[in-house]
A and B are shown apart, each in its own frame.
Chain A
Amino acid sequence: MRTSIICIGNRFVEEDAAGPQVFDRLQTMQPLPAGIELVEGGLAGLNLLPLLEQGGRVVFVDAVKGFTHPGEIVLLTHQEILQTPGQFSFDHGAGLPYLLAVLPKVYDGEMPEEIVLLGLEGRCGEETIEKAANMSVTIAAHGLRGLG
């Protein structure tokens, strides 16, 4: 199955840098298991849509706020992301719920079979970044079920 890990966020803003930090950690672990594509999604917002029309499994890695204790990791399914209270109008950095809400209306290829968000809450130390990087690879390879 084609899978991708898309790390989103802003590496210049500490509270939003978790995704890029996990990306940097995953870069040091290259080559990742066959079939896993690693993407630095950054602030691309709506311009990530082409990465979501190739079927397969997509694991987003991003900073989250208000889901768990600072320094901890939370996993959200496609449906849970969509149910996150948030604004569903477009902005300059349209968030993940907006992206996933608009996807079914605009995709050209094939929708992903599985979408997961691996969220990092608050400031995260090296250990959490490392853990998130390893979890993202496991989920990309085996889906949420792979975590056992």
Chain B
Amino acid sequence: MVKIAKGINIPLNRAEGDLQINVEIEGGVISEAWSAGTMFRGFEGMMRGRGALDGLVMTPRVCGICSITHLTAAVEALDTIAGVTPPDNARRLRNLALMVETVQSDVRHAILMFMVDFANREAYDKHPLWNEALVRYQPLAGRAAVEVIRESKRLIQVMAIIGGQWPHTSFMVPGGVTSIPEVSKLLQCRIIVERFCSWYERSILGCSIERWQAIGSVGDLDAWLDESPAHRDSEVGFFIRFSREAGLHTCGRGPNRFLSYGNLPLPLDTAVQGTGSRMLAAGYAVSTTVHHFEAAQITEDVSHSWYEQGSVPVHPFAGKTKPYASGQSGQLYSWVKAPRYCGEVVETGPLAEMVIGGNPLFCDMIEKDGPNVMARQLARLVRPTGLLAPMSVWLGELVDKRGDAFYRSVLTIPDGQGAGMIQAARGALGHWVKIQDEKITHYQIITPTAWNGSPRDENGVRGAWEEALIGTKVKDINNPVEAGHVVRSFDPCLVCAVHCLKKGRETGIVKLGFAQ
């Protein structure tokens, strides 16, 4: 066995600073991988004993990117406990805010955190498209890099109008929302969304959303690429051409099992279509075969995490978060727990949403090549195609139905338990909450990055991106950009997976160590 006993640095700081990945390499191919969240979060303990509504104020401050997302999960848990169904207009406003956050995150991650690696000189200066990648993605200078910041910034106005303040809105409350935007403000939101949509179609897709949605197979995708220079030169077109040349459709397979909690509860009276009561379906898929999702099948395994060891993995309503970082050194290696569904490791995120939603292009991609880095990242880049049109519809409905209710009175939160289970930009997010005497007695959060970046479980089965790293070819151990692509295709966010963000002047370089 050829092992390389050399430590190297990978600038995973774009994926937060507290992730360490150790790998073993045999003959230039990753043969083993361990993903460690290196800092304790302790958030669950912080919540116990606080007022029933405090999750609405505390959890949005956990993360600078998924602020609205945590607010949504927190309020849905409280809605359930209070036994209240928010009125249609509240559904629309809550959904809109969450969709803005998702769309913004998708385009920023794609261009600023993933495709920026295409401009990496050491890795790609021999790639025929490297010069063009530099023009597009060079930090602070690339055309697309600057454009995406400008355009995604303009969307913030929508969150500010809906939320009544920016940042740190807590406009979602059990029973609905706290504000009723003026008609003029709603129209302003609609213009902002439509302008963003025009930019997205022009620059990201190179075609209309309708044209993109007509692509139903890999063959269709190839025909689309050949159809017009606008398609080839768009960010999606360029991404596909660059990725294929770099072999990104051949690496980063992962567990080939997918999970989505479903998302965006539908108003009772709306033109937006969905599956059941939500716009996006919940499900569990093995390859492209989708099964019914049952929340009771979720467990958290701590057999390889620095927590007090329990006897068996338990559901998050029964889970505890007691740090225990001594003893069993070697076996315990991460502050991230290992969530499992039906005892299995799963991947969550945009690709999971595409598979579970039955998107024919992504199902075809997986049936042909298996899950891979290119499919996973493409799913993120094009996810807004399914969100932007419903956003406009809901804004129109809000204008038409502004006289209807936005809130149903909830005077107190009764004793009970409830879960808020939604899709964050990075995948399945759940808050499991118990209330007694109007105080929080239990708060467990499972983040998308806990699903994707988990350590091994009691059966020794690797977490999703640990598994995805296996078989990845690393050309240059001093610049392991391929391993970075694999991990970044999951869009890791350790801020809420492990702890809260550390700022200041630290560079956040994360070590990709090689086993001795």
Instruction: Give bound CA distance, A91 to B508, whole Å.
Output: 10
Write out, one digit per residue, whether chain B residues 127-161 have a CB within 8 A of any chain A CB (1) or not (0).
00000000000011000001001101110110010
Asked, given contacts A65-B504, A92-B65, A102-B149, whether A13 binds B499 with beta carbons under 8 Å apart, the answer is yes
Q: Is B368 an interface residue (CB 8 A)?
A: no
Q: What is the interface size of chain B, counting residues whose CB is below 8 A from a CB of the partner? A: 44
Q: Would you call B153 and A46 a contact (CB within 8 A)?
A: yes
Q: Is B459 an interface residue (CB 8 A)?
A: no
Q: Is A135 an interface residue (CB 8 A)?
A: no
Write out, one digit per residue, whether chain B residues 210-246 have a CB within 8 A of any chain A CB (1) or not (0).
0000000000000000000000000000000000000
B138 CB, nearest partner CB in chain A, Å: 10
How many residue pairs, one in A and one in B, have C-beta atoms under 8 Å apart? 134
Q: Is B116 an interface residue (CB 8 A)?
A: yes
Please give me the residue from chain B that is nearest to A99 by CB atom: B149
Q: Would you call B501 and A43 a contact (CB within 8 A)?
A: yes
Q: Would you call A66 and B505 a contact (CB within 8 A)?
A: yes
Q: Would you call B113 and A93 a contact (CB within 8 A)?
A: no
Q: Is A1 an interface residue (CB 8 A)?
A: no
Please give me the residue from chain B that is nearest to A20 by CB atom: B61
Instruction: Give bound CA distance, A65 to B505, whole Å.
Output: 6
Interface segment among A28-36, A81-89, A126-134: the answer is A81-89
Q: Is B506 an interface residue (CB 8 A)?
A: yes
Q: Would you call A108 and B154 a contact (CB within 8 A)?
A: yes
A72 CB, nearest partner CB in chain B, Å: 15
B498 CB, nearest partner CB in chain A, Å: 12
B426 CB, nearest partner CB in chain A, Å: 10
Interface set, chain A 31-77, CB cutoff 8 A to B: 39-50, 62-66
Interface set, chain B 422-437, CB cutoff 8 A to A: none
Chain B contact residues, CB within 8 Å of chain A:
11, 13-17, 43, 46, 61-65, 67, 108, 112-113, 116, 139-140, 146, 149-150, 152-154, 156-157, 160, 166-168, 493, 495, 499-508
Ranked nearest first, the 8 interchain pairs of A and B with the lowest CB-CB distance are: A43-B64, A90-B112, A106-B150, A44-B167, A65-B504, A89-B139, A12-B500, A93-B501
Chain A contact residues, CB within 8 Å of chain B:
8-13, 15-16, 39-50, 62-66, 84-93, 95, 98, 101-102, 105-106, 108
Known: A10-B61, A93-B501. 10 other contacts (CB 8 A): A40-B168, A44-B167, A50-B160, A50-B166, A65-B506, A85-B505, A89-B116, A92-B63, A92-B501, A93-B16
